[in-house]
Amino acid sequence: MRARLPLRLTRSAAFTVVCVTLAVLGHRAAGGSGPATWTVAAGAVAVSVLTVLLAGRERSPQTVIAFLVGTQVLLHQLFGLSGVTGSPLGVHLSHGQGLGADIGMVVAHLTATLITGWWLARGEAALWSLVRGLGALAMSRLRHLVVLLDDEGVSGPGRPVARAPRRLGLGRARRELRHTVSRRGPPLPAAF
């Protein structure tokens, strides 16, 4: 299933907001001050463009997480251009050293990125499940409308009218039984 432009832009906007916010909060927590406004804007535009290009279809959890890790590295490097130095407590090393940050910061960034990536991947799966369900519902309603129109004589004079098969009312019973719990076997006291 392919995503059209409105869905692509919506998915891209959601990913960009989460990705850039994660990077800014990480740098703010580790460095004491956030990156410059121009680097946040440039990072948001870069992530947005990349995400629109990749948002054409459903992506696997591995792809979502890998893309989030890659964009976090890109944003880390970009935020380093703003000249923000480490915190007075020495928790965060200077961004002038590039990727040579201390191991604690790398672990913290990677942990937050993996958790956020898992969350985004679950959202991606839920979104596509919803889109497929709505598509199936729309097709079902459309088929039902075509059958109704055909039953009203739209098929023309002299042609036999095709009737929709009658349902036995199992749909409602299945919906109600879906939420029941079935436990087979003897009661617990009789089992001992």
| Nearest CA-CA partner of 34 in 51, 18, 50, 21 | 21
For residue 57, give the 3-state DSSP assignment. strand
At 67-107, the pLDDT tens digits run 988 998 888 888 877 765 443 333 344 444 544 556 766 77
The mean pLDDT of 172-189, rounded to a whole number, is: 65
The neighbour count for residue 20, using CB atoms within 10 Å, is 23
Check pLDDT > 50 for residue 158.
yes
Helix axes 5-31, 61-80, angle to 10 degrees: 50
Give CA separation, 65 vs 23, 71, 133, 165, in Å: 14, 10, 25, 47
Determine what percent of the chain falls in helix, strand and coil, rounding each to the nearest 5. 70, 0, 30
d(CA 124, CA 59): 8
Check pLDDT > 80 for residue 146.
yes
d(CA 121, CA 142): 31
| Nearest CA-CA partner of 68 in 38, 113, 31, 112 | 113
More confident residue, 13 or 29: 13
The token pair that represents 82 in the structure block:
């703003």
Instruction: Note whether 11 and 59 are within 8 A (CB).
Output: no
Q: pTM to 2 decimals?
A: 0.57
The mean pLDDT of 1-13, rounded to a whole number, is: 79
Instruction: Note whether 39 and 87 are within 8 A (CB).
Output: no
Confidence bin at 45 (pLDDT 50/70/90): very high
Mean pLDDT across the chain, nearest whole number? Answer: 75
